[in-house]
Structure 1
Amino acid sequence: MKSVLRPLLVIFAVLSAVTGLAYPAAMTLLGKTVFAAQANGSLLEHNDKVVGSALIGQPFDAPQYFWGRPSATSPMPYNAQGSGGSNLGPLNPALMQAIKGRIEALKAAGTDVSQPVPVDLVTASASGLDPSISPAAAAYQVARVAQARGMTEATVETLVQQATRGRQFGVLGEPVVNVLQLNLALDAAMQR
């Protein structure tokens, strides 16, 4: 029995050390040195203070800011611990009520809702944490933000274009605008 048990325990100890300690430690070290920003959460700083992450949306509801996709997380919006969609189907009356409420909030903030509202301004993403909106959703909000800030629409449009990230490798995904980065750029432009 000892002749069988001893090699099994040695193999177990070696594999546990390699896969449970050495490999995770090596990957953590590699991530922290080669991809430091990503390994630390892609944090964004403003005035030497962390204001959020480029990977997780934040709630903005003031008229002078661009608004992101609604969050479906609960009990609070953009809660990474509660990541997940609402699972409401397109015919669900609760989804229709939520969309109508979001359109009314856009209208109350001074957005011209006579034009078709981009879908990503009134529906949550699958994770409920999406930090980005489509360029169309950003363009839809330009007039409201420009008016609320006393800026020209051309200036705000330029900031939107600068904040727009194209397709990955030129072919994957769709162009997006990170809402937090755009709002930080707006604040910086107002300080100049």
Structure 2
Amino acid sequence: MKNIFPMIKLTIVTLVLFAGIYPLAVFGIAQFAPNHGKGETIVLNDKTIGYRRIGQEFNQSNYFWGRPSAVNYNAAGSAGSNKAPSNPEYLALIQKRIDTFLIAHPYLKKSEIPSDMVTASGSGLDPDISFQGAKIQIKRIAAVRKIDESKIQKLVSEHIEKSVFGPEKVNVLELNLALNKLQ
């Protein structure tokens, strides 16, 4: 009995703190962020078509492809595959992705495919690809859209995001929107 009342008090205090005060504090701070904490939306013709930091599936040959997703680009279920690199199912999936990529890009060798084009990110929602991942797709897109490769190369170069902590990357949704404007 002596320990029950302090445990009940502690439970009530933590409930108030973590289920009330903390969420309200985070919500209040988010109001000072761009778009009031609702994410960086991309709007086209007064219609929200996506979010800058959430990947989308592009599998048409006239668009740049993003990273594969372990969660089918479902932001409600962000996760990786959790399979070890030595897992036979995982290796078969990667090989299938490589084969698919090589069919669409017959001018490439397997060794020229950047890993981000065949492996999902930890969240399964990565909106960016490496500069190399974008660069190797230029030839395919130029052929399908009947646009000079140098124009698409310039477009990719204009969309490179440099980072102090990581490699150069390109946001796939923004690049594909710019590609549509190019034509």
Pick the TM interval, shorter chain. 0.7 to 0.9
Q: What is the SS of the residue equivalent to 2:50?
A: strand
1:104 aligns with 2:99: yes
Residue 135 of structure 1 and its aligned partner are, at CA, apart by 0.4
Segments of 4+ in structure 1 off by > 6 A?
none
Contact 1:132 1:178 in 2 (8 A): yes
1:48 aligns with 2:46: yes
- AA matched with 1:163: H
Structure 1: which 5+ residue stretches go unaligned? 1-8
Instruction: Please list the CA deviations of residues 13-47 of structure 1 after superposition, one character each: whole Å capped at 9, or x if unmatched.
Output: 9x94x886677556534433x32336121111112
Q: What is the SS of the residue equivalent to 1:52?
A: strand
Residue 93 of structure 1, aligned match among 88, 98, 110: 88
- AA matched with 1:105: T
- AA matched with 1:179: V
TM-score (normalised: structure 1): 0.79
Written as runs of structure 1 = structure 2, the 5 A alignment for 1:14-163 is 16=16, 24-25=23-24, 27-32=26-31, 34-37=32-35, 39-73=37-71, 77-114=72-109, 116-163=112-159
Judged with a 3 Å threshold, the aligned counterparts in structure 2 of structure 1 residues 38 and 154 are, in CA distance, closer, same or farther, namely farther
Judged with a 3 Å threshold, the aligned counterparts in structure 2 of structure 1 residues 71 and 29 are, in CA distance, closer, same or farther, namely same
Q: Percent identity?
A: 40
1:179 aligns with 2:172: yes
CA RMSD between the two structures: 2.5
- AA matched with 1:94: E
Judged with a 3 Å threshold, the aligned counterparts in structure 2 of structure 1 residues 141 and 20 are, in CA distance, closer, same or farther, namely same
Judged with a 3 Å threshold, the aligned counterparts in structure 2 of structure 1 residues 49 and 157 are, in CA distance, closer, same or farther, namely same
Q: What is the SS of the residue equivalent to 2:42?
A: strand
Q: What is the SS of the residue equivalent to 2:136?
A: helix
Residue 173 of structure 1 and its aligned partner are, at CA, apart by 2.4
Residue 104 of structure 1 and its aligned partner are, at CA, apart by 2.2
Instruction: Please list the CA deviations of residues 150-191 of structure 1 after superposition, one character each: whole Å capped at 9, or x if unmatched.
Output: 111111111111111100xxx22222111111001101111x
- Equivalenced residue count is 173
Q: What is the SS of the residue equivalent to 1:184?
A: helix
Contact 2:54 2:127 in 1 (8 A): yes
Residue 142 of structure 1 and its aligned partner are, at CA, apart by 0.8
Q: What is the SS of the residue equivalent to 1:123?
A: coil
